[in-house]
Amino acid sequence: MQRGKPKRALYVIAYDIPSDRRRTRVHKALCGFGQWTQYSLFECHLTDKELVALHGKLDKLLEPDEDSVRFYHICAACMAKVETVGSKKPAEESVFIV
């Protein structure tokens, strides 16, 4: 049985972290999963497996009583309605391995 490409969903991830050190570590972790679009905001196209992996990484970095990270799942219909001013709409980046 042939498997298809894993489905990806768009997540807008926003964070508020008072510690400069933890904020830098969270930023670096998120860079491995998506596109930094604004201060403390990332747009990530993730599979279910990548989402679980990201949660696991962040759990190790965050102080639950001080830090806040929010994941906003954007459905395909809502993604088509995204409006931007001064930048491109969120799009999944293609990677080609040769």
pLDDT at 71: 97
DSSP 9-74: EEEEEEEE-S-HHHHHHHHHHHHTTSEEEETTEEEEEE-HHHHHHHHHHHHHH--TTT-EEEEEEE
What pTM did the predictor assign? 0.80
pLDDT tens-place string over residues 18-48: 999 999 999 999 999 999 998 999 999 999 9
Domain edges within the chain = 9-78
- CATH no. of 9-78: 3.30.70.240
For residue 85, the model assigns a pLDDT of 82
